[in-house]
Amino acid sequence: MTPNTLRFPVQDAALSLAAVPSSPRFEHHEEPFGIGEDRPRLSWQVATGIPGWVQTAYELQLGPDEASLTSYGRTETREQLLQPWPAPPLASRQRVAVRVRVWGSGGDAPSEWSPVAYVEAGLLNAADWQAAMIRPAWDEASDANEPAARLSRTFEVAGPVASARLYASAHGVYVAHINGRRVGRDILTPGWTSYHHRLRYQSYDVTEYLRPGTNVIGLEFADGWWRGNLGFQEKRNTYGNRTAVIAQLEMTDAGGAVSMIGSGASWLAGRGPVLSADLYDGETFDARLRNRGWAEAGAAGAATGTLQPAVVVDGFDPAVLVAPDGPPVRATDELQVKAVLGTPSGKTILDFGQNLVGRVRFTVSGAAGTEVVLRHAEVLEHGELGVRPLRVAKQTDRYILRGDSGGETWEPEYTIHGFRYVEVSGWPGELDPGAFTAVVIHSELVRTGTFECSEPMLNQLHANVVWGMRGNFVDVPTDCPQRNERLGWTGDFQIFAATASFLYRIPGFTTSWLKDLAAEQGTDGPPPLVVPEVVAEKPPFPDRPVMAAWGDAAVLVPWVLYQRTGDPAFLRRQLPGMMAWLEAAAQAAGPELQFEHGFQFGDWLDPAAPPDAPGDARTPWQLVAQAYLVYSAAVAGEAAGLLGQDTEAERLRELSARSRAVFRKRYVDDGRLRPSTQTAYAVALRFGLLEPAEHPAAAARLADTVEADGYRIATGFVGTPLVCDALSDEGHATAAYRLLLQTECPSWLYSVTMGATTIWERWDSMLPDGSINEGEMTSFNHYALGAVADWMHRSVAGLAPAEPGYRKLAIRPRPGGGLAWAAARHETPYGEAAVRWELAGQEFSLAVTVPAGCTAAVYLPDGGTTGVEVGSGTHSFSCALPATAVPSSAAEGAREPVFQP
């Protein structure tokens, strides 16, 4: 500590001194309704102003309702997360009320009871399904976008309904209706999974939809991912060439009697107003047919041929139906038109001011038969709609007016687009920008993390990362949301998982994706490049290639989720896939564990790569593959050890050690990397490939390399998430900040200077003259390179987990780059953690909030070597910085452990 340095924490008491537990959460569900677990684990947070409070015990009460609760005794433990279900397993359809109270340090009295939370099981067994998968009987070509079909039936309800549940799914995407009302807010249900392994169903409380007398239930459904255009190889019918639905309506009257309406051959099929619907091409809707195709027409409709009997799909096994793990896709926001633009060719374009994913709702008046056409794109090129990056995806919606005198409002149902700009044609009369609304659509994840600082451009960069995640987390973590691709690339999610887990609560979402990864991977071999797997087994890729950084998602995504949530189930479920991947990677490396021949993506999209050859990186793919084998084998060994698999743990550690020796022999010479690229040094420093004594020289060479590159980015997918950490953790935070704050291309802020509102796929997706990069693969909404935000959270603001689940925080801000202040907040599993620092001259001040039940190690940037340990509560610190450059984290003894993402 320097003589003029002051280091002291001050406890603030903003909260009540009582401990108040929150309502329990069930597994990782946001809405615990229709869940698939019969013994859901329970978690809760505690709010209290008691300094350093830690839980010592808890008591759970469960019962059929709030008035009939049974205690399951006091449990002595400090654990608040994912505690075992204490009662008998849930039965299908069973609803249970749960509440909790806690004891904590500082007193013997229990807390007040938490508010009650309800959980309801879905259909847990295949035998619970008394419905059939059905489809229309008519012939369909299926080699082009088909009209949406409707299946429905009428039924009688004798009297008041006490409760009613609808369980439904589809081959395709569907919307349920009861008595003319759309059921729920979910969009593109049942979502996209590895359908032949796992087909999700949805559960809806539809009590209020029903009425005594005649009722009508109907499902409208379209191609979706099942048989629509899917992938970049112009494929259709990926999962099947016919769409179909299954629905089961269960009604309970006041006396407890249950009646059921299940989909079957008695249902009637018809065609409605959706003439075509495709996720890539868009939707065409003829409003003149709005009320056709439903069973309201009854026998008259069947007699005139408007409706036809349904047929049962042969061979459908309800065992494939599973309850959702994560939240549904829903509309989450709405944006208004920012400007109306005229193009050089005379077209009219709406600018919504933000690159987003969703669709446009509008209200229009005009003559029947008038067709309004909307074309969507992310950018303008020389004043015109920039559609070339869409490749063959049309992103075009068409609406044919009914001619209603009072106006007509429409929003597509079975498509989404990636866009900022919308070209409008066919509009009757004068165009009113107020008639249009952009509806933002993605998985309804809970926002958990924020970042801001004194530099507006960094705030815009962070906003771009958030919007990029929103646009691409649509049921699966897609690479892009606009062109004919939109696939769950494993490498993209692997490098972004830590950033994503800070910004939003993603455990349920990721649980589903990892289950699909495991199902697609099977018991041996590498996982597919995309999950769900839809890339054809033909060029450009060999069948199931070993692809470092992409295949490593099988290891590193569950590891990140374990670190950020504290849930070992991520490791337990995925450990077989981890070992299968590493076995495949080791076999590909050969007996000497040395990668030589073949093709891998490597440091994909190195800015030096030509537009038509994005894999031609300065760092050879062999180095990347070797480094990942070392790192992932070590991580998997750690995971196996945590799970008590000691034999496997030792085998994986030995694999890591052998591969590390190969890496060092081939690529390291006295701490110098061959080749001397930013990515090579970044992976060597971050993946534990160098000896401790080699770190200072290697980090200095990395800093020299970054300087020689003009503080411009010289990394692709592999190096980009690592390079700032590799610099700042080794005493070169100044170089990391200069890299972060660079505005010349290639850099993170170049796209910001070009007006970007999301992260681009390429560093130069748009050239300085406003031309789109000539590469065939160019997206303006690709979250992967936004993984730098994780470093901004952990190092610029200084908020990071030190133990799994944030049970202990590492507060280690690294001021620099001319920033006057920075702040971050994150809703950890235990509650909100927050950091804010300010720098005035050499005077540094810091405010830290630690959730109840947690501790933090606080490292001030004054050259001190020991962190200050604090408990829960709000604390203030201050110190005087040395009159030198930005302090080095190496001097703080703050190098992050190799296994801490």
**Residue 94 and residue 60: Cα distance in Å, rounded?**
18
- Say which amino acid occupies 212: P
- Compute the chain's Rg from CA coordinates: 28
CA-wise closest residue to 636 among 714, 578, 695, 552: 578
Strand 282-286 and strand 396-400: pairing? parallel
Contact in structure between 531 and 476 (CB atoms under 8 Å): yes
What span, in angstroms and rounded, lies between the C-alpha atoms of 777 and 770? 17
Active-site residue, 423 included: no
Query: Which residues is 490 bridged to in the sheet?
Result: none
Consecutive H or E run containing 437:
strand 436-443
**What phi and psi values does residue 795 have, to the nearest 5 degrees?**
-115, -45
- 646-667 helix and 569-589 helix, angle to the nearest 10 degrees: 40
- The catalytic position among 146, 761, 827, 896 is 761
Whether residue 761 lies in the annotated active site: yes
How many helices and strands in the chain, by DSSP H and E? 15, 48
The type of residue at 832 is: E
Tokens in use for 26?
């069930």
**Nearest one of 696, 707, 698, 693 to 676, comparing CA atoms:** 698
Residue type, 348: T
State how far the Cα of 50 lies from the Cα of 242, in Å rounded to an integer.
Answer: 61
Q: What is the helix, strand, coil percentage profile of the chain, to 5? A: 25, 30, 45
Q: Are strands 199-200 and 321-322 parallel, antiparallel or unpaired?
A: parallel
The rounded distance, in Å, linking the Cα atoms of 360 and 350 is 11
219's enclosing H/E stretch is strand 213-222
Buried/exposed code over 14-25 (b: 16+ C-beta within 10 A; e: otherwise): ebeeebbbbebb
Helix (H/G/I), strand (E/B), else coil: 308: strand
Q: Cβ atoms within 10 A of the Cβ of 790, count?
A: 25
- Taking CA 344 as the corner, what is the angle to CA 339 and CA 348, rounded to the nearest 5 degrees? 40
Catalytic member of 146, 485, 827, 896: 485
Full DSSP string of 328-390: PEEEEEEEE--EEEE-TTS-EEEEEEEEEEEEEEEEE---TT-EEEEEEES-EETTEE--GGG
Separation between Cα atoms, residue 734 and residue 814, nearest integer Å: 10
Question: Is the separation of the CB atoms in 177 and 113 below 8 Å?
Answer: no
Which residues are bridge partners to 825 per DSSP?
450, 834
Residue type, 788: V
CA–CA distance, 636 with 155 (Å, rounded to integer): 55
Nearest-angstrom CA–CA distance, 677 and 580: 31
Instruction: Give SS3 for 543.
Output: coil
Strands 329-336 and 384-385, by their bridges, are: unpaired
> In residues, how long is the chain?
901
Quick one: 430 exposed, middle or buried, by C-beta within 10 A (0-12, 13-18, 19+)? Answer: exposed
- Rounded Cα–Cα distance for residues 446 and 506 (Å): 8
CA distance 582 to 76: 40
Pair 765, 773: CB distance under 8 Å = yes
Would you list the DSSP string of 469-482?
HHHHEESEE-S-SS
Distances in Å between the alpha carbon of 458 and those of 75, 561, 746, 749?
47, 26, 16, 8
Positions annotated as catalytic residues are 485, 761
